[in-house]
Homo-oligomer: A and B are copies of this chain.
């Protein structure tokens, strides 16, 4: 049963059979997959995005990206969002991980891409999107993630994954 529906997610309540056979009522959030992109503007420098997040009432440092529509693949979405949110096209877009932000309540998977070979085009944000971008040395971003200064779990994990060879 769909108990709630918004533009971004819906809530589904169902009897779920646990592996031990118990039947329990369980409310799941159903949300399309997402993308998060780490764009390298040179070998040492990436672009991150600050976005206002109403749920936590603050600006959050995270990665550009979006929600994968039914008509597109995660890769196509990443290509589109890199241009819409940051104003870049990439020669190469490489999938580096698939992570679940909140598998204890939500089916959303997040596809993490590294974008390289960038050329500048033009941003075109959706209405209501609030994004500030910032260039940051990858080693500084990784250090921030390791020391708990990046509070978005997907962003922190993605940065540490690409940065594990760095001092």
The listed residue (B16, B20, B27, B127) touching A9 by CB distance below 8 A is: B27
Q: Is B4 a contact of A11 with CB atoms below 8 Å? A: yes
How many Å from the CB of A64 to the closest CB on chain B? 12
Q: Assembly of this chain: how many copies?
A: 2
Chain B residues lying within 8 Å of A148, measured Cβ to Cβ, are 96-98, 161
A108 partner residues in chain B, CB cutoff 8 A = 102
B54 touches A16 (CB 8 A): yes
Residues of B within 8 A of A96 (CB): 148
Once the chains bind, are A100 and B56 in contact (CB under 8 Å)? yes
Q: Is the CB of A102 within 8 A of B98?
A: no
B-chain residues with CB within 8 Å of residue A98 when the two chains form the complex:
148, 151
Scoring A3, A20, A103, A128 by chain B CB atoms within 10 A of each residue's CB, the highest score goes to: A103
| In contact, B29 and A104 (Cβ under 8 angstroms) | no
Closest CB-CB distance, A144 to chain B, in whole Å?
11
B contact residues around A107 at 8 Å (CB) = 55-56
A71 contacts across to B, CB distance below 8 A: none
Q: Which residue of B lies closest to A20 (CB)?
A: B130
Query: Nearest CB to that of A162 among chain B residues?
Result: B146
A100: chain B residues at CB < 8 Å are: 56, 60, 151-153
Given A56-B100, A110-B153, A164-B164, 14 more pairs with CB closer than 8 A: A6-B13, A9-B105, A11-B11, A18-B54, A22-B127, A51-B104, A53-B104, A55-B104, A60-B103, A100-B151, A145-B161, A153-B153, A156-B157, A160-B160
